[in-house]
Amino acid sequence: MSKAETGGSRPSKNNCQAGSQRGEPGDSVPAELWSRPISVEPGVSIREECVHQLTSGKQATTVGAALDQWRDWYDGYLNSHITFERDDGKTVRTALENSYMPEYGKRYYAKLKGLEREVKRSFESLTTVMLTFSASHENANGKPRCPADHMRDIAAGFDTARKHLYHVLDGREWEYAKVWEPHEDGYGHLHMAIFIDGEATADEFEPVLSKYTESVRSAGSDAHTVDESVSVNDNVENIGSYISEYIGIFGDETLNRPTSEQLFYAISWATNTRRVEFSNGAQVKIKSDRERQRREKTGTMPEDRGGDDGSAWTATEVVIVDDDGDRHGGEPGSGGVHADVIDGRPELDPEKFVP
């Protein structure tokens, strides 16, 4: 495989796992996957860093090139800081963060634990249910599925299944947390942790799984039976810890993690997919728990102590320190997520029907 096909193979600025240079496969990632485009679905949005102009129109880059782009993007955060200024002239500088950093994962974990505490406190009879949604990693031609299209298929099927939950759980209060988990080959699958005030049985969720497999042809009903895809528990203890295993907050720094995990992150980044999401009601409960924790520690809220007068903080400067130690300033907010729509080549990646 040539460097042109994979998007290059120079080592990362950070110590990546041995054998996981840019654009090169790790032990568990199919070698054929690296030269595949991340997406060929017409009309979908992809980060502009992962889109290029070909004779066939605007197309997504290869999997190897997308991993390179994500690593470059991540590298850019490691030596970057942002300065905030308040109305009264007070300034503070902090390191720039992104959602793929271990510290950000710890925030997700704290939210999950907060949700766990709040549902235990506010629900009279708590039941937790874990649903799992996946799809085939192979297309109808027997080739590796374009991973961004694979991820979008699962996400669309999840939205269909989630809407049907309102019928299944009608009359009961419930909230959920949605978490993506990487497979060993770099693809992803989706977990939905549901917190229910009241009793629930696994069989109740069979129609939800059916709606999902009807929506996603490559999912397969045999892989989404009640026994395979539904777990019911009347004890919420440590569910935050259980789910957090999928977030990647433990272990090595992100760029030292397995190639398959980095690849999954690159596809999430290229499609602007949130790896952790909470229902609106769950977000309210997380906020309530955070305020409760503050009151228990201090006896008051921050505004009661006069520690925060409500003055607005405004980002004033981004500082980047390059490899030579030179500092470069920039305007905050000048980056952001810029996407482009691809023309696509759907004939390259027909969805596989799995009965």
Q: For residue range 97-111, list pLDDT tens digits in order.
A: 888 988 888 888 889
The reported pLDDT for the residue numbered 350 is 94
Rounded distance between C-alpha atoms, residue 60 and residue 66, angstroms: 9
Mean pLDDT along residues 249-275: 89
Question: DSSP E strands: which ranges in the chain?
Answer: 45-47, 51-54, 57-60, 80-86, 91-95, 126-133, 174-182, 188-197, 230-233, 276-278, 313-321, 327-330, 339-341
The pLDDT of residue 20 is above 70: no
Q: DSSP label at 352?
A: P
Predicted TM-score (pTM) of this structure: 0.84
**pLDDT confidence bin for 194, thresholds 50/70/90:** very high
The pLDDT of residue 10 is above 50: no
Looking at per-residue pLDDT, the higher value among 9 and 210 belongs to 210
Number of H helices, E strands in the chain: 10, 13
224 Cα distance to chain centroid: 22
- The residue length of the chain stands at 355
The reported pLDDT for the residue numbered 170 is 95
Q: Write down the mean pLDDT value for the chain.
A: 83
User: What does the block give as tokens for 184?
Assistant: 């060993």
Q: Is 83 helix (H, G, I), strand (E, B) or coil?
A: strand
The reported pLDDT for the residue numbered 102 is 85
For residue 125, the number of C-alpha atoms closer than 13 Å in the C-beta half-sphere is 4
The reported pLDDT for the residue numbered 5 is 34
How confident is the model over 117-152, as pLDDT tens digits? 999 999 999 999 999 999 999 999 999 999 999 999
How confident is the model over 153-189, as pLDDT tens digits? 999 999 999 999 999 999 999 999 999 999 999 999 9
The reported pLDDT for the residue numbered 118 is 94
Burial (CB count <10 Å: 0-12, 13-18, 19+), residue 48: middle
Considering the chain, what percentage of its residues have pLDDT values greater than 90?
60
The pLDDT of residue 285 is above 70: yes
The pLDDT of residue 82 is above 90: no
Q: DSSP label at 62?
A: B
